[in-house]
């Protein structure tokens, strides 16, 4: 398990900047879909990851819940999934 602080608005309203998330680093497979922490080449980001059925090589949709950020596709080899978000907490 790993505790990570969310910074940014790409996953609002689901996750907000300042939220803390617990990440299960043992679960790195995006099937079933869920919110994962991914290293995007610049830093760690939280994104909804969904496998694209019957894609070869295996591809995924990388989705921000904030619709101002576009959904994009990558092969599984192009991304580094750190783990699955299993809990979040936020200040009232």
Residue 9 is predicted with a pLDDT of 97
The tens digit of pLDDT for each residue in 9-68 reads 999 999 999 999 999 999 999 999 999 999 988 889 999 999 999 999 999 999 999 999
User: What tokens does 2 get?
Assistant: 């790993």
Residue 90 is predicted with a pLDDT of 96
pTM value is: 0.93
User: What tokens does 38 get?
Assistant: 């991914």
Cα–Cα separations (whole angstroms), residue 49 to 10, 70, 91, 92: 13, 13, 26, 28
The tens digit of pLDDT for each residue in 58-90 reads 999 999 999 999 999 999 999 999 999 999 999
Among candidate residues 20, 92, 78, 7, the one with its CA nearest the CA of residue 49: 78
Give the domains, in start order, of the chain with CATH numbers.
2-89 (2.10.109.10)
Residue 41 is predicted with a pLDDT of 80
């Amino acid at each position: 398990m790993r505790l990570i602080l969310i910074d940014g608005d790409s996953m609002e309203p689901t996750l907000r900047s300042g939220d803390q998330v617990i990440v299960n680093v043992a679960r790195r497979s995006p099937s079933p879909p869920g919110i994962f922490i991914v290293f995007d080449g610049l830093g760690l980001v939280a994104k909804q990851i969904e496998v694209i059925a019957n894609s070869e090589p295996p591809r995924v949709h990388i989705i921000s819940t904030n619709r101002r950020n576009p959904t994009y596709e990558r092969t599984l080899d192009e991304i580094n999934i750190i783990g699955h978000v299993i809990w979040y907490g936020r200040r009232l």
